[in-house]
Amino acid sequence: MHDRYLYLAVDLFSFIVPFLFAFERRWLHFIGQWKSILFGLSVMSGFFIVWDILFTSLGVWGFNDRYLLGVRFFELPLEEYLFFVLIGFCCLFVYASMNHIIRQTWPEHWFRKLFLGVAIIDLLIAGWYWDQLYTFWALGLNALGILVLLRWGASFFLWKKFFIGYAISFIPFMIVNGILTGSFTPEPVVWYDDQENVGVRLGTIPIEDSQYMMLMLLISIYAYEWFRRDSNKMLS
């Protein structure tokens, strides 16, 4: 495979299996919720693409032309736009599938306290590293998202369901990010300026990516569930 197809291949190979399974009819029939899926992905992608363009222009991170097709819009490669849509779809599929399979009765308030703790830790770290752009904004915005949903989130956003979706999605997300940050290649596909993060990595992945991913899921799952609830109300 030519190097320049690597990022595109990561996007497509990550997407293809969940996409095919989304069409089954006897179990979840995930694709039948396509309006909710599109809404969730559109809200999340719109937010993160603007953030991505800004941070790319500031040099917080960037992209290695060796592994890209060479098509760019507003400084972002085409593959990066696909990342939010295709990987976002995969995460939503995992979230919906695992919550269809797993039936656990742990009290919801346990998970609310767990995520409140995450928000407090994120805020403390963001405040301590206020001069590192990626650390400050990734952790700070994730904490803000958690606190807003804890305070004003509607009852249909269940934190135990979100926890399952995040925990299961974390594994494939980190594999994809590992590939993109150079775990298996001579150079990273996506590089980071370590002066803008704390410098702690999970293998080759900046630790901030774990909270960046959580915020991706917070936004996409909330928007997906909100649209699904309102659609069900109109049909009832």
**192, 177 Cβ separation under 8 angstroms:** no
Output the six-digit token pair for 22.
């989304």
What's the pLDDT tens digit per position in 190-229? Answer: 999 999 999 999 999 999 999 999 999 999 999 999 998 8
Express as a percent the part of the chain with pLDDT over 70: 97
Higher-scoring residue by pLDDT: 127, 153? 127
Q: Answer whether residue 1 shows pLDDT above 70.
A: no
Q: Which residues of 123-162 are buried (b: 16+ CB within 10 A; e: fewer)?
A: bebbeebeebbbbbbbbbbbbbbbbebeeebeeebbbbbb
- Cα-flanking dihedrals φ and ψ of residue 205, to 5°? -100, 125
What's the pLDDT tens digit per position in 60-105? Answer: 999 999 999 999 999 899 999 999 999 999 999 999 988 888 777 7
What's the pLDDT tens digit per position in 103-115? Answer: 777 888 899 999 9
Output the six-digit token pair for 33.
């919720």
Q: How many CA atoms lie within 13 A of 36 on its CB side?
A: 19
What's the pLDDT tens digit per position in 114-123? Answer: 999 999 999 9
Q: Could you give the angle at which helices 208-235 and 88-101 cross, rounded to 10 degrees?
A: 70
| pLDDT average, residue stretch 181-189 | 93
Q: How far is CA 15 from CA 84, 89, 111, in A?
A: 11, 7, 29
Distance CA 126, CA 143 (A): 9
What's the pLDDT tens digit per position in 8-30? Answer: 999 999 999 999 999 988 888 89
